[in-house]
């Protein structure tokens, strides 16, 4: 066993000794002596958090490509005035953009903004449903990141490092807390929008952590989990018979060879068998009432963001710790009609507005919102300038990548509802006050889950690797906490 797993085991064992009364502890030790002395105990067994968690589960809605905050959340009347004017030089000096060349023009939003709810949150007309949830969410308009390209920015956000090979937030949460439902994966990933996010599967990978903690991608078409269905011709009855024989033969071998790992293997095969029933059950939204489908805009059997939102609720309801959604297609550069903020964004926003609002309401009605943290955002923001790819303007309108200011929102478990946090400057270029960096977001999320972001670490390559990186700059944002 690796030292890491050893540590893990040590942790679980101590945790049991501390928490369980003697009978249970005895049982646990008995099973260790019999079977698992050198085999891994279940590394996904629930673990005690460092402090009482505010959020038991998290639904992280990542809009891959990065939606424009200036069309949705961040109202800038000044920018309207400067529409079509050259961007001031001092905002361009020493800056690197993905596509902008030379001096671009400032760009007003074509959408109307209004204030909503008690909190007076500004939102654009593209969010008619979400506007009604204004008092349930905390909108952070002062987000910043260090990366201005999709893959590095997504990796930085989800794994704490812009390069490949690091452990994702969901993997960290599962490593630190285990899984509540042993018949379902603890960390589920749902992807919509026609493509994987740019950072690929590394965004839910386990990096240097054992691969048991990586996210399990569930799908709404075909097998919900890869290789979940029995092969053609093998029905449940035959599968059961096969597994019985495998168990019996493994037990014979364990008696002869004495390797406790064999017991662990038998257990995993039994869990796989249970997952074959439990996963399709939770993934099957066809039995949800019509009213629910109407509310979310779901269509069973399709791959859609709406379906994934409804699934997120079902998964959380069933004890899944970390549900990560990626919805691709928000990269509105204005280089084609499909990337135009006037022609494409409204459609994307409409779907998102409906399903996300439905999710918040649904969670609230079921009493799940109070201990489910919902996070929404892209990997960076978009420029207040109109993108001039190749140095000139064509027929389409869009904005380039912008790491210096963007908007995210959070709701539920432990978050102050109805809070408008942070501000950008008059044209939305820089953060004006109450800056929140991606590191702060990571620290805050781990904190809400009951983990200590500074202590949650894993020894690898001579360093104590952490989600929040090597320095302690990431802050738990007390202002955002309920």
Partner 1 sequence: MPPRIMIAILACALGAQAQAPVDYQRDIRPILAKRCIACHGPDEHGRQANLRLDTQEGATGKSGGYAGIVPGKSAKSRVYARITDSRRPMPPVGPRLSPQEVDLIRQWIDSGAPYTNHWAFERPRRPVAPAVSDPKWPVVEFDNFVLARLDKEGLRPSPVADRYTLARRVALDLTGLPPSPEMTAAYLKDTSPEAYERLVDKLLASPQYGERWARVWLDLARYADTQGYEKDNRRTIWPYRDWVIRALNSNMRFDEFTKLQLAGDLIPQATEEDLIATGFHRNTMTNTEGGTDDEEFRDAAIRDRVAVTGQVWMGLTLGCAQCHTHKYDPISHKEFYQFYAFFNQTEDSDKPDDRPALKLANASTLILKELPENQRRKTHILERGNFLTPGEEVEASVPAAFAAFPKGAPRNRLGLAEWLVSKENPLTARVTVNRFWARLFGKGIVESEEDFGTQGTAPANQELLDWLATEYMRLNWDGKAILKTIVMSATYRQSSNATPELLEKDPTNRLLARGARFRLDAEVMRDQALAVSGLLSKKMYGPPVMPWQPDGVWQVVYNGERWITSEGEDRYRRGLYTFMRRTSPYPSSMSYDAPTGEICTMRRIRTNTPLQALTSLNDPVFMEAAQQLALRTLRETGKSESARAARMFQLVLARPPEKEELRRIVSLHREVKKDLARKKASAEKLLHYDRTLYKADLEETVIADARKEGGGWRYATEDPGDGWLDAGHDDAGWRTGRGLFGAFENEERQKEVATSWETDTLWLRHEFTASERKLSDFRLQVKTVSGFEAWINGISAAGSPQERTGYYEYPITSAAERAIRPGRNVLAIRVVRNHEKKSGQSFDAGLVATRPPDFGKAGRDDADRASWVVVANAILNLDETLTRR
Which parts of 267-326 interact with partner 1 (CB under 8 A)? 268-269, 271-272, 275-276
Question: Looking only at residues 382 through 401 of this chain, which bind partner 1 when binding is defined by CB under 8 A?
Answer: 401
Closer of 130 and 326 to partner 1 (Cβ) = 326
Spell out the residues 6+ positions from residue 386 whose beta carbon is closer than 8 angstroms to its own: 104, 105, 106, 107, 334, 393, 397, 398, 399
User: Nearest approach, Cβ of 211 to partner 1 (angstroms)?
Assistant: 5
Question: Looking only at residues 149 through 168 of this chain, which bind partner 1 when binding is defined by CB under 8 A?
Answer: 149-152, 163-165
Residue that is written with structure tokens 């424009």 in the block: 68
Question: Looking only at residues 198 through 227 of this chain, which bind partner 1 when binding is defined by CB under 8 A?
Answer: 198-202, 205, 210-212, 216, 219, 221-223, 225-227
- Return the residue of 21, 84, 90, 257 that touches partner 1, per CB under 8 A: 257
For residue 80, the 8-state DSSP code is H
- Return the residue of 115, 253, 277, 336 that touches partner 1, per CB under 8 A: 253
261 binds partner 1, rule: CB under 8 A: yes
Whether residue 190 contacts residue 324, with contact meaning beta carbons closer than 8 Å, is answered with yes
Token readout for 173 is: 């949460």
Question: Looking only at residues 50 through 109 of this chain, which bind partner 1 when binding is defined by CB under 8 A?
Answer: 96-99
Stretches 36-44, 113-121, 352-360, 439-447: which one binds partner 1 (CB under 8 A)? 36-44
Closer of 83 and 244 to partner 1 (Cβ) = 244
Stretches 34-42, 293-301, 337-345, 410-418: which one binds partner 1 (CB under 8 A)? 34-42
Whose CA is closest to 466, among 190, 207, 106? Answer: 207
Cβ atoms within 10 Å, residue 392: 8
CA distance 436 to 423: 10
- DSSP letter for each residue of 75-89: --HHHHHTTTSBPPG
Closer of 120 and 222 to partner 1 (Cβ) = 222
343 binds partner 1, rule: CB under 8 A: no
371 binds partner 1, rule: CB under 8 A: no
3-class state of residue 401 by DSSP: strand
Question: Looking only at residues 425 through 464 of this chain, which bind partner 1 when binding is defined by CB under 8 A?
Answer: 459-463
- Return the residue of 234, 390, 455, 482 that touches partner 1, per CB under 8 A: 234
CA distance 476 to 442: 8
3-class state of residue 84 by DSSP: coil
Question: Looking only at residues 181 through 200 of this chain, which bind partner 1 when binding is defined by CB under 8 A?
Answer: 185, 195-196, 198-200
**How many CA atoms lie less than 13 Å away from 386 in the CB half-sphere?**
26
User: Nearest approach, Cβ of 461 to partner 1 (angstroms)?
Assistant: 5
CA distance 251 to 240: 16
């Amino acid at each position: 066993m690796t030292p890491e797993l050893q540590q893990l085991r040590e942790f679980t064992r101590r945790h049991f000794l501390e928490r369980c009364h003697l009978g249970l502890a005895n049982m646990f030790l008995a099973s260790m002596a019999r079977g698992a002395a050198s085999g891994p105990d279940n590394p996904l067994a629930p673990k005690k958090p460092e402090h009482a968690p505010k959020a038991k589960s998290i639904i992280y809605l990542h809009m891959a490509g990065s939606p424009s905050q200036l069309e949705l959340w961040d109202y800038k009347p000044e920018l309207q005035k400067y529409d079509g004017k050259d961007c001031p030089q001092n905002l361009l000096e020493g800056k690197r953009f993905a596509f902008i060349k030379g001096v671009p023009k400032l760009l007003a939003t074509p959408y109307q903004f209004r204030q909503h709810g008690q909190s007076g949150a500004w939102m654009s007309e593209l969010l008619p449903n979400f506007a009604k949830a204004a008092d349930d969410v905390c909108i952070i308009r002062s987000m910043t990141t260090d990366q201005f390209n999709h893959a590095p920015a997504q990796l930085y956000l989800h794994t704490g490092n812009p390069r490949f090979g690091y452990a994702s937030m969901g993997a960290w949460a599962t490593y630190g807390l285990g899984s509540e439902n042993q018949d379902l994966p603890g960390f589920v990933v749902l992807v919509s929008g026609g493509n994987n996010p740019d950072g690929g599967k590394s965004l839910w990978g386990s990096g240097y952590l054992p691969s048991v903690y990586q996210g399990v991608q569930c799908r709404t078409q075909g097998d919900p989990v890869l290789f979940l269905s029995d092969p053609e011709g093998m029905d449940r009855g035959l599968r059961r018979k096969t597994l019985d024989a495998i168990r019996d033969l493994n037990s014979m071998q364990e008696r002869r060879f004495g390797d406790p790992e064999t017991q662990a293997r038998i257990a995993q095969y039994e869990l796989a068998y249970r997952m074959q029933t439990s996963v399709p059950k939770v993934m099957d939204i066809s039995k949800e009432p019509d009213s629910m489908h109407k509310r979310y805009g779901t269509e069973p059997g399709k791959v859609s963001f709406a379906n994934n939102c409804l699934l997120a609720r079902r998964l959380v309801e069933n004890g899944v710790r970390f549900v990560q959604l990626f919805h691709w297609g928000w990269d509105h550069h204005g280089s084609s009609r499909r990337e135009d903020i006037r022609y494409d964004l409204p459609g994307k926003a409409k779907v998102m507005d409906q399903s996300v609002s439905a999710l918040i309401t649904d969670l609230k009605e079921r009493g799940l919102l109070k201990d489910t943290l919902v996070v929404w955002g892209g990997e960076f923001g978009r420029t207040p300038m109109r993108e001039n790819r190749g140095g000139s303007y064509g027929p389409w309108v869009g904005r380039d990548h912008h790491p210096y200011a963007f908007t995210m929102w959070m709701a539920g478990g432990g978050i102050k509802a109805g809070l408008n946090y942070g501000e950008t400057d008059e044209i939305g270029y820089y953060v004006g006050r109450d800056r929140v960096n991606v590191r702060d977001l990571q620290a805050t999320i781990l904190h809400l889950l009951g983990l200590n972001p500074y202590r949650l670490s894993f020894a690898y390559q001579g360093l104590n690797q952490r989600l929040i990186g090597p320095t302690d700059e990431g802050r738990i944002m007390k202002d955002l906490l309920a």
